[in-house]
């Protein structure tokens, strides 16, 4: 899965899936620009310790070249300036990963639209949808200058799952399904230039925030199954990172154009594992075990 000589932009790479993707692209040899609003000098409203500088250092340590760029992707002129910088410094853009999110603190679960705080809901949509469109508007102009480019829209849930499941908030539901459709729409335009667009979802992600919620670390994450048994199917952010790296390195990636993909599904095709050597297949597990009312048991699913 060599990506030596390739240039990537992971938009929204401070933590979680974005960080995992950036690190694995670096491990494959890519130069990776990582953006986010949390830096060592200034925190976003999340007020968490992760920073984009740390992500860039992890990319470099993995074998690539990490370049941290503080950026709010709602500010169009700043995104435009970043793409101009990438053009100036690299002359190309091979991979764009749109992982910008920022809605965890804004979502009000199990509330209909008339009870959900309207400003929070609209802000969530701007962070989840507008940022992706603004970034694509500026970045894809550079990517289409040569064939073989890849756009990855990161979301939560596959198209199949989200089509039949209400995601417990009208704003969250719209945000996550919109990104899937966005990737499908971009695919229609990008295929004319020999480029590929997909959406991808992790399974139950053991992000930094999720580990904190369950008061565990990556070293003892299985202790959280005492509170939430189905957490046994969870995966690290590096797993979706390996999915994106495998996809980016595939010379026949165009076969996926416009499709909704998952980390577990791609692992079955490309043969990569999570960092512990397992291969979690979360979305199949959810349908066949959790939603079927069976006891938590990941046997045969990782």
Please report which confidence band the pLDDT of residue 187 belongs to, taking 50, 70 and 90 as the band edges. very high
Instruction: Quote the pLDDT of residue 47.
Output: 85
Interatomic CA distance for residues 42 and 172, integer angstroms? 27
Q: Which residues contact 114 (CB under 8 A, 6 or more apart)?
A: none
Instruction: Quote the pLDDT of residue 43.
Output: 84
Residue 67 has pLDDT above 90, yes or no: yes
* DSSP codes joined into one string, 48-87: -S--HHHHHHHHHHHTSEEEEEE--TT-HHHHHHHHHHHH
Tens-place pLDDT, residues 7-16: 999 999 999 9
Percent of the chain at pLDDT > 90 equals 94
Strands 260-262 and 7-11: unpaired
| Residue 280 per-residue DSSP state | -
Strands 31-36 and 65-70: parallel
Tens-place pLDDT, residues 159-178: 999 999 999 999 999 999 99
Token readout for 203 is 């399974």
Interatomic CA distance for residues 242 and 244, integer angstroms? 5
Contact 240, 153 (CB under 8 A): no
Q: Find the mean pLDDT for residues 96-103.
A: 94
Tens-place pLDDT, residues 219-239: 999 999 999 999 999 999 999
Instruction: Quote the pLDDT of residue 154.
Output: 98
> What domains are there in the chain, each with its CATH number?
7-209+237-277 (3.40.50.720)
Q: Which residues contact 37 (CB under 8 A, 6 or more apart)?
A: 14, 44, 70, 71, 72, 102
Q: Among 53-57, 65-69, 102-106, which is the least confidently predicted range?
A: 102-106
Token readout for 264 is 């577990």
Whether the CA torsion 122, 124, 126, 128 is positive or negative: it is negative
Q: What is the Cα 110 distance to its own chain's centre?
A: 24
Q: What is the Cα 87 distance to its own chain's centre?
A: 24
Residue 1 has pLDDT above 80, yes or no: no
Q: Which of 158, 177, 128, 97 is nearest to 282 (CA)?
A: 158
Whether the CA torsion 82, 84, 85, 91 is positive or negative: it is positive
Please report which confidence band the pLDDT of residue 46 belongs to, taking 50, 70 and 90 as the band edges. confident
Q: Which residues contact 228 (CB under 8 A, 6 or more apart)?
A: 214
């Amino acid at each position: 899965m060599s990506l030596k000589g390739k240039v990537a932009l992971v938009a929204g790479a401070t933590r979680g899936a974005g960080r995992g993707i950036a690190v694995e692209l670096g491990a494959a040899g890519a130069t990776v620009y990582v953006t986010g609003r949390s830096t060592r000098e200034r925190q976003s409203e999340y007020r968490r310790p992760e920073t984009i500088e740390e992500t860039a250092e992890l990319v470099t340590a993995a074998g690539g070249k990490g370049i941290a760029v503080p950026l709010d992707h709602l500010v169009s002129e700043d995104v435009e300036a970043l793409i101009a910088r990438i053009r100036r410094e690299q002359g190309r853009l091979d991979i764009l990963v749109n992982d910008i999110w920022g809605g965890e603190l804004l979502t009000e679960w199990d509330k209909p639209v008339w009870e959900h705080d309207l400003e929070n809901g609209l802000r969530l949509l701007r962070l989840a949808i507008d940022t992706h469109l603004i970034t694509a508007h500026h970045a894809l102009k550079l990517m289409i200058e040569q064939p073989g480019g890849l756009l990855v829209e990161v979301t939560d849930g596959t198209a199949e799952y989200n089509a039949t499941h209400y995601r417990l908030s009208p704003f969250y539901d719209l945000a996550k399904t919109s990104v899937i459709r966005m990737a499908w729409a971009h695919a229609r335009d990008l295929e004319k230039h020999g480029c590929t667009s997909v959406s991808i979802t992790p399974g139950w992600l053991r992000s930094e925030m999720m580990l904190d919620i369950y008061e565990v670390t990556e070293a003892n994450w299985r202790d959280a199954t005492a509170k939430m048994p189905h957490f046994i199917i969870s995966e690290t952010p590096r797993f979706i990172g390996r999915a994106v790296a495998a996809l980016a390195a595939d010379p026949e990636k165009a076969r996926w154009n416009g499709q909704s993909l998952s980390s577990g599904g791609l692992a079955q095709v490309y043969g990569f594992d999570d960092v512990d050597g397992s291969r979690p297949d979360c979305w199949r597990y959810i349908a066949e075990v959790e939603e079927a009312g069976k006891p938590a048991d990941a046997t045969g699913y990782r």
